[in-house]
Amino acid sequence: MQQINLGIIGGGTVGGGVYQAVQRNGLLMTSRLGVELSIVKVAVRDLSKKRPVKIPKSLLTTDWASVVEHPHVNLVVELMGGTTTAREVVLKAFKLGKSVVTANKALLSAHGEELFLTARQFGANLYYEASVAGGIPIIKVLREGLIGNRITRLYGIVNGTCNYILSRMKNEGADFAEVLADAQRLGYAEAEPSLDVDGYDAMHKTGILASLAHGFWVNPKSIHVEGIRAVTALDIQFAGQLGYTIKLLGMVKKLEIPGKGCGPVQVSVYPTLIPNSHVLASVNGVFNAVYVRGDVVGDTLYYGRGAGQDATASAVLSDLADAALDLKFGTKSRIPPFVPHEREGAVLPIDQTVSRYYVRLSVADRPGTLARIAAILAKAKIGISSVIQPEGHQGEFVPLILMIHDATNAAMAKALNRISQLAVVKEKPVMFRVESFD
């Protein structure tokens, strides 16, 4: 029976999970694929480190290059993270004609175009199922399952750490820092957790999904991103009273220009108020969900654990199976890893995006305050759909919640800037967008 020899770079949360999963289900995979998976070497940074998943000492090395170059290794699995050495690892493998499996969305976001091109140049493949939405096979969905569709909408809760934090803040009133520490302990967070909480990890993933869905490489710099640090317990509570849940949402919307057909694509990541009646509002904890609308299939939904050892290992195993079959049958890019097919794809600048808004102001509790705020919005032709001044707040300044009808981001930002300069308004206004999923 053919043997596929794996050289794994990284024996941490995901690398340890893959080692463990191959021990557990390697034989099952062999019986299904007719190929034996064998781990030849695992590169780590520190040989003396205590590892929750025990990897035999004989497999470990600190020299990643020796793993990639190892004459028996015919598939490289990059699970080290980061974008500098990881890029070297992947390029080196390709130049040796070896295909690569990676879970590294930061790497793909920063260097995807170069990596896909180099893989093709050297007749290698790049597999990246684990890079987006943990255990949910969403890359396969877009590349294979929905290949016959134009993707008109894609909404994703794609960062497990943020969803875990927001869910616990909502359901238990838990403190942000405390829950983040739990997410780190559970292996959900990135080595640099600001990648999670500042929205960059979701941006990397949303960019990958947008590129796959629309066939042009989405430059991460064109993706508007806001993280969850600005989401307070107060906003979670007010949103709840209004019938919404706040989620960090990745969004890819193909816009129609009346009379012209297809327009640019909105690609963005920000905390969003989702109506509680929408299925994405009930995706809690470390779970992710991706909601995809295709022009043929209609609405579809994919749900599962978005981070952590086992969920991610499952996605890596799926790539190992694809790679093993490609090696077994000598197929190259049977399903191309990424096919650019849109020549003039463009991302809509955030200023031009249109949405509804939730705005929380801290205002002087005296007559005339609301009239001044409403006058600024009216002048900007921005409509208010509801106003709430929750009772029970004491003091000179009290919260005022405004729900705003559709407006462009530019108009809203300008109006809020003017509102913030009013003497009756204390503190910077808080603004979140509200999604209607239409």
Phi, psi of 187 (to 5 degrees): 80, 20
Q: Please state at what angle helix 105-121 crosses helix 85-95, rounded to 10 degrees.
A: 20
Phi, psi of 209 (to 5 degrees): -65, -40
267 binds, among ligand NAP, ligand HSE, none (CB under 5 to 8 A by kind): none
85 binds, among ligand NAP, ligand HSE, none (CB under 5 to 8 A by kind): ligand NAP
Give the three-state DSSP class for 386. strand
We find the least distance from the C-beta atom of residue 251 to ligand NAP, in angstroms, to be 21
**Which of 41, 205, 247, 253 does the annotation list as catalytic?**
205
Measured from the Cβ of residue 378, the count of other Cβ atoms closer than 10 Å reads: 12
Which residue is nearest to ligand NAP, using beta carbons?
Answer: 12
We find the least distance from the C-beta atom of residue 103 to ligand NAP, in angstroms, to be 4
Residue whose CB is less far from ligand HSE, 67 or 180? 180
Phi, psi of 320 (to 5 degrees): -60, -40
We find the least distance from the C-beta atom of residue 306 to ligand HSE, in angstroms, to be 5
Structure tokens at 45: 């940074």
Our answer to whether residue 205 is catalytic in this structure is yes
Binding site for ligand NAP (CB under 6 A): 9-15, 43-46, 49, 62, 64, 79-81, 85, 103-104, 130, 134, 187-188, 190-191, 307-308, 312
Binding site for ligand HSE (CB under 6 A): 134, 159-161, 188-190, 196, 201, 306-307
Name the H helices within 192-260: 194-197, 200-214, 233-241
Residue whose CB is less far from ligand NAP, 190 or 322? 190
We find the least distance from the C-beta atom of residue 350 to ligand HSE, in angstroms, to be 23
Residue whose CB is less far from ligand NAP, 17 or 264? 17
Who's near 209: CB < 8 A, 6+ residues apart?
132, 138, 142, 154, 156, 158, 250, 252, 290
What strands, in cross-sheet order, belong to the sheet with 75-78?
Answer: 60-61, 35-43, 2-9, 75-78, 99-102, 126-127
User: DSSP readout, 257-278?
Assistant: ETTTEEEEEEEEEEEEEEETTS
Residue whose CB is less far from ligand NAP, 44 or 236? 44
Structure tokens at 78: 């990059």
44 binds, among ligand HSE, ligand NAP, none (CB under 5 to 8 A by kind): ligand NAP
| CA gap 229, 287 in Å, rounded | 20
We find the least distance from the C-beta atom of residue 123 to ligand HSE, in angstroms, to be 29
Q: Judge residue 256's burial from the number of C-beta atoms within 10 Å of its C-beta, 0-12 exposed, 13-18 middle, 19 or more buried.
A: exposed
159 binds, among ligand NAP, ligand HSE, none (CB under 5 to 8 A by kind): ligand HSE
Q: Judge residue 241's burial from the number of C-beta atoms within 10 Å of its C-beta, 0-12 exposed, 13-18 middle, 19 or more buried.
A: exposed
12 binds, among ligand HSE, ligand NAP, none (CB under 5 to 8 A by kind): ligand NAP
Residue whose CB is less far from ligand NAP, 10 or 294? 10
10 binds, among ligand NAP, ligand HSE, none (CB under 5 to 8 A by kind): ligand NAP
We find the least distance from the C-beta atom of residue 235 to ligand NAP, in angstroms, to be 27
196 binds, among ligand HSE, ligand NAP, none (CB under 5 to 8 A by kind): ligand HSE
Which residue is nearest to ligand HSE, using beta carbons?
Answer: 161
We find the least distance from the C-beta atom of residue 228 to ligand NAP, in angstroms, to be 17
Give, rounded to a whole angstrom, the gap between the first and last alpha carbons of the chain: 52
Q: Residues with catalytic annotation? A: 205
